[in-house]
Amino acid sequence: MSSRTEHLPSRSGSAASLYPCGRELLRLPRPLRLVVLGVTGSIGTQTMDLVRRYPEQLQVAALSCRSNLAVLRRELESLRNDCPDHPEPWIAVADPVAHAEAMRDDALAPRLLSPGEDGIAEAVESPNDVHCLVNGLVGSAGLRPTLAGARRGLRIALANKESLVVGGDLVRREVLAAGAEILPVDSEHSAIAQCLSGRTPDEIEGLILTASGGPFRTTPADELQRVELEQVLNHPTWKMGPKITVDSATLMNKGLEVIEAHHLFGIDYDRISVVVHPGSHVHSLVRFVDGAVLAQLGTPDMRVPLLYAITGEKHWPLDTGKLDLLELGSLHFEAPDPERFPCLRLALEAGRAGGSAPVVLNAANEVAVAALLDRTLRYAEIPHIIEDTLSSLPSGTIESLAGALAFDQQARGKAAEFIAALSGRAG
């Protein structure tokens, strides 16, 4: 055991695995009461679907959305119809204009929390009898509530990978101090967690993350210079929100996931590899010290990792399609191409550099992706914006949330400048 633990990471400042590998999970009562952040997004609506399927076991104590009141109302109505005896959840609406509109709605106003980030913090911190935080927020905005949930000692079903990319060491500190637990919702990390069931960290040789390769897996380099937004948003296997769909097309998503896996499982970057697996049937693999390799397979359905995390790593019945191995016939794997997908290389470099580099990488990427979705930036320009932002800012260490957010803001400003310069709108 001692010879293996010597391989555990030193660069991130801790040898402890954030994921409770080999440790006992929290024993939580029923009904398990959830806080669902990002309820109108893909993770949020699928969480609500699970609550309606398991009304005896799961309840929603509070939920949040940014501005999509139509979907919020629809989710609340479905909850009332299918779970009539559940107490009404508290509601956080982050966008101030949408919050003002919600205040005028008699069905929403009585349960409405403060606008902005304060309301999200209230959703995590104030309801009684909360056991599990489902963090389905997008981007570094997810870090603050993850830290709040950790301080409260909650189970955190984490879909917001940016929490760990931007604040991995901060999250680890709070989780270990408060006895909280982080269970991954990202399908790759959930697959690894499923392979690690009953294992201890010293048994792990390395992790293998699979990547679908996105819509441009076979697109030649010169054609990649000209792809349009509609092609970027056409993901071959997973139905997800726009930000992660863009990240999947640039392979930035896989780079962020390697950083996430490094923090979550306490595994050095040299022992995490990425293989492209276009079918997305194998969700990831663990290589053990005796040469054994375990994989987790299934049809692509995010409710599987969601339910596995929320339940504390139980497989509850779910009507996902059955994986038919005979129909599948064979599994195909190939190496990722760092030349055509420079975002993957940039993310791995930033992860290894540590400190502020992943924060800057992530912020620049968020700004670049937003500009692509706004049609003010082209797909092929995304890695240039990220690389220029990384090289224009001095690196530093991250000691606090405020420190992380300062680097985040600085990088957003720089990335916006580079994008404005590219589109001829500078000055």
Residues binding Mg ion (CB under 5 A): 186-188
Q: Which is nearer to Mg ion, 43 or 91 (CB)?
A: 43
Kindly state the smallest distance separating residue 251's Cβ from Mg ion, in Å.
12
Residue nearest to Mg ion (CB): 186
Q: How far is CA 192 from CA 51, 188, 249, 272, in A?
A: 25, 6, 23, 12
Kindly state the smallest distance separating residue 229's Cβ from Mg ion, in Å.
21
**What is the residue type of 182?**
I
Kindly state the smallest distance separating residue 225's Cβ from Mg ion, in Å.
26
Kindly state the smallest distance separating residue 188's Cβ from Mg ion, in Å.
5
Kindly state the smallest distance separating residue 187's Cβ from Mg ion, in Å.
5
Q: What is the DSSP string of 326-367?
A: HHH-----B---TTT-HHHHHHHHHHHH-TTHHHHHHHHHHH
Q: Which is nearer to Mg ion, 64 or 253 (CB)?
A: 253
Tokens of 408: 């985040």
Kindly state the smallest distance separating residue 371's Cβ from Mg ion, in Å.
23
Please name every residue paired with 156 in a beta bridge, in sequence order, or none if there are none. Answer: 133, 182
Q: Which is nearer to Mg ion, 31 or 184 (CB)?
A: 184
Kindly state the smallest distance separating residue 310's Cβ from Mg ion, in Å.
17
Q: Which is nearer to Mg ion, 50 or 191 (CB)?
A: 191
- For residue 423, count other CB atoms closer than 10 A to its CB: 13
The DSSP bridge pattern shows strands 293-297 and 155-158 to be unpaired
For 89-104, b/e burial (b = at least 16 CB within 10 A) is bbbbbbbeebbeebee
Q: Which is nearer to Mg ion, 167 or 184 (CB)?
A: 184
DSSP letter assigned to residue 421? H
Tokens of 126: 């104030």
Burial of 10 (C-beta count, 10 Å sphere; 0-12/13-18/19+): exposed
Q: Answer yes or no: are the C-beta atoms of 112 and 57 closer than 8 Å.
A: no
Q: Answer yes or no: are the C-beta atoms of 280 and 402 closer than 8 Å.
A: no
Q: Which is nearer to Mg ion, 76 or 211 (CB)?
A: 211
Kindly state the smallest distance separating residue 283's Cβ from Mg ion, in Å.
8
Q: Which is nearer to Mg ion, 76 or 192 (CB)?
A: 192
Q: How far is CA 372 from CA 3, 365, 381, in A?
A: 47, 10, 9
234: Cβ–Cβ under 8 A, 6 or more apart, which residues?
Answer: 215
Distance CA 23, CA 69 (A): 40
Kindly state the smallest distance separating residue 207's Cβ from Mg ion, in Å.
13
Q: What is the DSSP string of 290-323?
A: TS-EEEEE--S-THHHHHHHHTTS------PPPP
Kindly state the smallest distance separating residue 209's Cβ from Mg ion, in Å.
8
Residue closest to 54 by CA, chosen among 402, 265, 316: 316
Q: Which is nearer to Mg ion, 93 or 274 (CB)?
A: 274
Q: Which is nearer to Mg ion, 162 or 186 (CB)?
A: 186
Q: Which is nearer to Mg ion, 36 or 261 (CB)?
A: 261
Directed axis angle between helix 42-53 and helix 303-310, to 10°? 60
